[in-house]
Every structure is written in structure tokens, then in C-alpha cells.
Amino acid sequence: MVEKNALFEIRNFSIHYGDFLAVKNVTVNIEAHKITAIIGPSGCGKSTLLRALNRMNDLIVTAWVEGEALFHEVNIYHKDADVIELRKRVGMVFQKPNPFPNSVYENVAYGPKIRGIKKKSRLDEIVENALVRADLWKEVKDKLNESGMSLSGGQMQRLCIARSLAQEPEVLLFDEPTSALDPISTANIENLLQELQKTVTIVIVTHNMQQAARISKYTAFMYLGELVEFGDTDTIFVNPRNKLTEEYITGRFG
Amino acid sequence: MTIFDDELIALKEKVLKLGLMVETAIRDSVNALVERDSELAREVIKRDHLVNALDVSIDEECVRLIALRQPMARDLRLITTAMKITTDLERMGDLAVNIAERALELNEEPQLKPFENIPKMAAITQSMVRDALDAFVAGCSRLPYEVIKKDDEVDNLNVRNFNELLSLMLQDPKIIPLAVKRTYIAKYLERIADHATNIAEMIIYMCKGKMIRHTEITDEP
């Protein structure tokens, strides 16, 4: 289904936390320039799988993996893999907006500065471009020097997206990006993601099934660490193949 | 069992009730004709507003469930199927009224000849409606495919009825006004069977998630 334009190819991939097997032998492709949603009950391994895509799980000492996770056909878990470079190309936005306790401008300019860009005019350009892409520019262009923490929840989340975009990532991973936001801010983020998929590949973990249905092209349903069903979002929500998927999405689980 | 499950059961019961009303209307309208019972024909016509009211009420309930419960997968298919098949059932009710109206007219005239094809068509058509609704309630089986197959029998009886009446009309043009009304009634039954076929096709969609309308598929794959 997604063989042609697979950006990530996950092959027989398992993730352990010590003795606990959190993700079991998952095989799935992530298509470029599409939104792929991962759904499933709490503890099903969906966030673990998401974090594996830019090796965020490395930060957990007991975590170890088996199988392959190919990004552009290269195994990101190879011993010579450049994790810093990977995380630049594969960014992440979290559930709770977490801007740095710094100005709006500095939040967005932080990554490029670390990368060695010093020229003010170049940084200005990157900051504006990232804020425009995150659909925040109009709201903050007159308060670039105010604290990122002074923005509303929805604005803070878009600031975090702008901060990621300033790194020119190819992929953005979203872990429940709207669960702390009101419906209007949620709709703004959803519209933004649909716009962003033209330039960035998006993988989103969400508890909100309607959100997955609204914005994603593909949906993966996970349960107890296993990938139960993966397919076109249309199929998953109208006519799922697997009984367990149906039980979950119709709200008759357990 | 959730509240939503109870609501879906109540919805199914309403559709079933509508089906029963329509089935009764078809039976009574044909009996009114065959037994020359004009009182029964008037009753069918009088009862039609109940069919219309239940049709509207089911539609409203479906819209409410879509808005409030945001149904997915089989629930979504059940509710959309309920919406579509009630439209078919309501039309069948209207056609039963048309039969009753023709019965009232024909009952005022001497009988042309005993009815043969029309009661047969009515019996098959009623069983199609019943089986289609059983399939809607009982879940997925071969039943809707059987319903679709029976439509051919009704079509053939309609053609036979028409040809028989045509030759009678050619022999004796005086009977044309009566004979034409009989061809109408057979046509109404043929259309009722078509609506039953639509219902069966929607039930296959509800079960399998696959639309077989306007395709050549007539049997279980």
C-alpha cells in the first residue's frame, strides 16, 4: 500500500524496557508527505513506537530494540548512526506545550544558532519563515521579544511547532499535540498539520479518534504492543478488517 | 451494554416496526383487490400517514445519533443503512396506497377474471420485505442475497401478467380500462420488489462494508 514512497520502513521491530516488551515485532511503512496516525488504548506502545522514530527512547536507560527501523533505507539504530543529525531531520512536538523560558524569537532561533548560524538577518529570516509556516506569525510579529511562556496554550503549541520547523525537519512526530488545548486551538493545529504535510511527513499519536479520522491518510491501531491493523484511514473507520480494531473505534473495548 | 447500544437496538426496532407496517399495507392492499374489500382498501390509504410519520421519526433519530454519538465502523454503517432503507420502505408504503386506490376503482366494476399473477407477485414481494428486514435485525447471512434473487421472479411475473392482459385487450378492446389498471397494479408490485432489492443491497453493505449497488454482483463472493 505504501511501498512506493516509504520514508520509514519499520521491519520486525520490537522495543523493550528492561524485561518488558513494549512494542512487539511491528512491521509498518510511513509514507512521505502524508499524515499517519497511531491510535490505541493507554499503554499500547504507540508513544514508545513514535519515540523510536527519532531515538528519543535512548534517553531511557533500560530501553533496547530489536529489528530494523530504516529511514531513507538506512537503519537509524545502526551503531554508526548519527543521532543528533537524526533528531534534526525528525523533530518532535509533545503533548504539553513546552517553550523555553525565553522570548518567542529565541525559542525559534535556538536550533539554528546551535547549528552555527550567527548572522542576524539570516536568523530573522528563519524565525519569520518558521513562524509563518506554523501559522503564528500574524499573532506574534509584534511581540517577538516577549516571553514564549506568555502566549496562550494553542499559541505555545504552534511556537513549539515553529521551533521544530526552524530545523528544517523532514519528519515531525506529534505525541498528543492537542490534548491540552481547547477545541478552537485544536482545530487550528489540525488545519496546520494538514497544511504542513505538503512539506513535512507527519506521524501523530492521538487518543482522539475523531482527530485521527479528520486529519490522517493512514491509521495504525496498536494494542498490547502489537500493531493490530494498519491501513487507509477511510477503511479503518468505515470498515475495519480486524474485530479488535472495530471494538476499539466503536467504543466497545474491554 | 452502553446507552448507545440501547439506542441502536431501539433504532432497529423502529425500522422493524416500519417494515411490519409496510408489509401489512402490501398484504391488505392486495387482499382488498382480490377479495373486493373496499373497506380494507380505504383503511390502507388511511393508515399511510403512520408510515410517513415513522419514516420521519427514524430519519431524525439517525441524524441525532450521528451528531451525538459520532458512530464509527459497523455502527456508522448500521445508521446510514437505517436511513436509506426507511426511504425505500416509505416508498413501498406509497405504492401499497396506489394498489389500494386502484382496488377501490376496480371494485366498482365487474371483475374481469380471477387474479392469478398479482397474488403470486404479492406473496413473493412480501417475503422479500420480510427477509430483508430479518437480515437487517438478525445480522449477516445469505438472506439478503436470496432477496435479490427473488426480484427476477417478480419481474418475470410482471411481464407474463402484461402479456396475458395485452392479448385479452386485443381480443376485446372494451376491457382496456380494467386491464390497464391491472397492469398498473403489477407494475406497483414490481417496483415494491425493486425497493426490497435496494434494502437487501444496503444490508450487504452494512455487513460487508461493500456497495454492490449498480454492480453485477448478485451472490456472496
With a pLDDT cut of 90, the percent of chain A lying above it is: 94
Confirm or reject contact between B74 and chain A (CB < 8 A).
Answer: yes
Confirm or reject contact between B72 and chain A (CB < 8 A).
Answer: yes
For residue A1, pLDDT over 60 is answered with: no
Instruction: Mutation target for B interface from A246, A248, A250: give the one with most B CBs within 10 A.
Output: A250
Cα distance from N-terminal residue to C-terminal residue, chain B = 33
Q: How confident is the model at residue B221 (pLDDT cuts 50, 70, 90)?
A: low
- The answer as to whether A142 is a domain residue is no
Q: How confident is the model at residue A254 (pLDDT cuts 50, 70, 90)?
A: low
- Binding-site residues on chain A for chain B (CB distance < 8 A): 209-210, 213, 237-240, 245-246, 249-252
- The answer as to whether A179 is a domain residue is yes
Global pTM exceeds 0.80: yes
Which carries the bigger pLDDT value, residue B188 or residue B2?
B188
Confirm or reject contact between B139 and chain A (CB < 8 A).
Answer: no
Is the distance from CB of A149 to CB of A103 less than 8 angstroms?
Answer: no
For residue A3, pLDDT over 80 is answered with: no
Helix (H, G, I), strand (E, B) or coil at A26: strand
Give the pLDDT score at A176.
Answer: 95
Helices (H) and strands (E) in chain A, counts: 10, 10
Residue B76 has its nearest CB partner, among A238, A245, A252, at: A238
Rounded CA separation A42/A223 (Å): 9
- The answer as to whether A26 is a domain residue is yes
Count CB atoms within 10 A of the CB of residue B27: 18
For residue A213, pLDDT over 60 is answered with: yes
- The answer as to whether A75 is a domain residue is yes
Query: What would the pLDDT profile of A7-37 be if each residue is shown by its tens digit?
Result: 999 999 999 999 999 999 999 999 999 999 9
Q: What is the mean pLDDT of residues B112-126?
A: 93
Residue A245 belongs to a domain with what CATH number?
Answer: 3.40.50.300
Q: Give the residue numbers spanning the domain of A89.
A: 6-98+156-249
Is the distance from CB of A13 to CB of A66 less than 8 angstroms?
Answer: yes
- The answer as to whether A206 is a domain residue is yes
Q: How crowded is the C-beta side of A84, counted as CA atoms within 13 Å?
A: 3
Interface contact B73-A210, CB threshold 8 A: no
Structural domains counted in chain A: 1
Q: Where are the domains of chain B?
A: 3-208
Instruction: Report the CATH architecture of B3-208.
Output: Up-down Bundle (1.20)
Rounded CA separation B186/B193 (Å): 11
